[in-house]
Amino acid sequence: MVKLVGLKQLLKKAQAGHYAVGAFNAANLETIQAILRAAQAEKSPAIVQFSEKSIRYMGAKVCYDLAKSVAEQEQVTVPLCIHLDHGQKMETVRACLSAGFPSIMFDASKEKFADNVRHTKQAAVLARRYGASVEAELGILRGKEDDVASLEAKFTDPLEAKQFVSLVRPDCLATSIGTGHGYRQKIIRLDLERLKAIRKQVSIPLVLHGSSGAVESDIRKAVSLGICKINCDTILRMAYSDALRSQLAKNPDEIDLREYSGPARDAVQSAVQQRMRLCGSSGKA
């Protein structure tokens, strides 16, 4: 029996257990299979999340139904959340909630503080009509991932975070503490002192976006300081595309998609399992 749960439930348990749950972006059947197989192998809770670009590519209902169907086919028994990542349009939020998503992120972080509060509150009100969990974001990450792009970072201010949470009342808060979107090498150092200060002001679970380029020792420390959800996309794309290129180079005349998509799926599964161990969620299902 598939255990579909909301983000709030998943992260409250993670917060109490002092570990983080990996949130892995999916873009097709193979990446969904890889994430769910990794979760079952690691006995880890998991978040399969879809960006607005993936929603446009496949459709909200297809994303939700596909993730749920794969979980049933793979006989996944670990807790699973299907989540909208970086929703920036209310129409996307509505589509995902109508499709059955138990959790959404609304990202108005590029707007002025008052506008971020106002628009995120609107999304939260809508989500709670469906009984769905809400992730919000305060601060801006540098880099690019699908529709989310910024040349400059804006770190999360701890006192603003306290005010934001009191006004919006999200179930978790994504923070900017030095990570960035789209980094392919582990070169980013986190502002752990800032994270400590945010944790003192905010009691809800905290989220780390753009983790692919972060130094792993910093990620472990961040988990110990209150990060309960860690987003992962770029390293999965790299694993998939590198394996795909390798297979095509070995067999340039191969036209059976399954022959080179299978190894790409396996490479993503390996990357997800490694990240689950880094999060400390293995064996926590």
DSSP 156: P
Task: Give CA–CA dist 122/197, Å, rounded.
Answer: 28
Catalytic residues: 85
Q: Write out the H or E segment, with its range, that includes residue 69.
A: helix 60-73
Report how far Cα 138 is from the mean position of its chain's Cα atoms.
16
Closest to 223 measured CA to CA, from 177, 269, 265:
177
DSSP 158-172: HHHHHHHHHHH--SE
Tokens of 285: 């299902």
Question: Could you tell me what percentage of the chain is helix, strand and coil, using 3-state DSSP and rounding each to the nearest 5?
Answer: 50, 20, 30
CB 177 within 8 A of CB 194: yes
CB 272 within 8 A of CB 24: yes
Closest to 108 measured CA to CA, from 143, 82, 81, 134:
134
Tokens of 74: 């793979």
